[in-house]
Amino acid sequence: MARKPSKAFLFAKERHSKKRRNISRPGGIGKLSKNDLINILSRLTTKTILTCCCVCKSWRTLISDSEFANRHFERDHDQEQFVLRPDGPGSLSRTLILIDPDRLKPYAQFALPLNDQLPFSGIEVVNSCNGLLCLSSYLDKNPVLVCNPITREYINIPATHTDHQQERSLQAVASGLGFSLEGNQYKLLRIFDVGYGHGFDNLRSHGRQAEIYTLGKGSWRVIDQFPPRIPHSFLFGTYLKGTISWACAKDINDKFDFIISFNFDKEQFEFVSLPPYSAANHKGISDLRMQELGGFISVCDFYCAEYFDIWLMKDFGGKKKIWSKDYRIHMLHGKVHHPIRILNNEEILMIQGLNALVSYNHLRMKLRCHKIRGIQSNFGASIHIPSFVSLKDVVGVDEVEVLIVKVKCM
């Protein structure tokens, strides 16, 4: 004969049911207003907000509201986080894993979308901008998708324009997503070869052009102003504060000569000098690496076998740009180290080799290893600031598609 539940159990169950009804009811949680709820929830971490989406329908609706998304981003946009992308069987995986920057543990996993121009085995994450990711094919730098992995929304970008009358072929050599603060618009930039065929000889004969696409406007347009010095290669595309930059080589030897930047507000290019190291010692692209680090454009100088220096560009975006050599990191175990971000304790988080996450205290010259649960293969990493901004608010409802695969909390 089944035992009757105790009075204490029945009381606790009824109390729990009342709490759930109180949460779901419009007047619940102390009868807080919508603005008060947004003010409270927008202060939570991304991981906690993802959990709140599962509490009740009214909270999920509130978190999907554009007012909440904007408030959360205003408070969280300086909190750099990063994603790891593990290798899949024979290719890079579609999976991105979001890492808690304080505990250095994974807390969410999401999948990248696909379309006809983006095969499963060839997805390239071009860059991240305000929570949105720009994706291209691994072999072609033409941007074909923009997505928000948190909301699972994505849009298809129009295919490459071809001038059929002159039968010119266009091959993208660089691209990137950026945000224009003045116009409150997201824009895509692509730089491509113009001419009959490819190669540096063709580049000398026909040159390069740049086009820009404003999300929600529907078509590409040519940028009239293009640098007189035509770079041969664009590497390490880095987005920061309305500007995307590349380390460039002026000829086929792939020796870095300068940095070229594009401002999404002014829609103009400018040249930036490299740090004042001894350029004569550098043989090629393996000696340098450029990225965003600690809110600055940084260049890592790997010329010396025993250590590498990290240069930061101070006052970037202003009238005066000054390079400062802020860190010297001693090489460990003979492996290449790629810095990712500066942690709250001033340690520098890096990828060691291809499959180890480490943090380095440059004052004590000590290294700590961090194991990431669920990742057994090689992986890459990139800076990404999660955002709940809906692409529907950026481009309109009709253009946006939603990925079926849901975000998985870990």
Q: What is the DSSP string of 339-384?
A: EEEE-TTSPEEEEETTTEEEEEETTTTEEEEE--TT--S-EEEEE-
pLDDT band of 17, cuts 50, 70, 90: low
DSSP-derived 3-state class of residue 24: helix
Question: What is the structure's pLDDT at 165?
Answer: 39
Q: Can you say whether residue 152 is alpha, beta or left, with left for phi > 0 and alpha for psi between -120 and 50 degrees?
A: left
**What's the confidence (pLDDT) of residue 9?**
52
> Residue 203: what pLDDT?
46
Contact indicator for 402, 391 with CB cutoff of 8 Å: no
CB atoms within 10 A of CB 215: 20
381 φ, ψ (degrees, to nearest 5): -140, 150
Tens of pLDDT, residue by residue over 139-169, are: 778 888 899 988 888 888 887 554 433 444 4
The percentage of residues in the chain with a pLDDT greater than 90, rounded to a whole number, is 10
Taking only the tens place, the pLDDT of each residue in 91-110 is: 567 788 888 877 888 888 88
Between CA 266 and CA 180 the distance in angstroms is 9
Q: Among 16-20, 110-114, 180-184, 397-401, which is the least confidently predicted range?
A: 16-20
Q: Are 229 and 250 in contact (CB under 8 A)?
A: yes
Q: What is the pLDDT of residue 317?
A: 54
Query: Which tokens is 330 given?
Result: 């001693």
Cβ–Cβ < 8 Å for 190, 175:
yes
- Residue identified by tokens 């955002």 is 387
Q: Cα 43 to the chain's mean position, in Å?
A: 22
pLDDT at 178: 95
Instruction: Assign domain 81-162+169-194+207-336+381-395 one CATH number from 1.10.3470, 3.30.1360, 2.60.40, 2.120.10.
Output: 2.120.10
- Among 4-8, 25-29, 144-148, 266-270, whose mean pLDDT is lowest? 25-29
Residue 164: how many other CB atoms lie within 10 Å: 7
Residue 388, burial from CB neighbour count under 10 angstroms (0-12, 13-18, 19+): buried
- Residue 189: pLDDT band (50, 70, 90) is very high
- Give the start-to-end residue ranges of the domains of the chain: 34-74, 81-162+169-194+207-336+381-395
Say yes or no to pLDDT of 409 above 80.
Answer: no
pLDDT of residue 244: 95
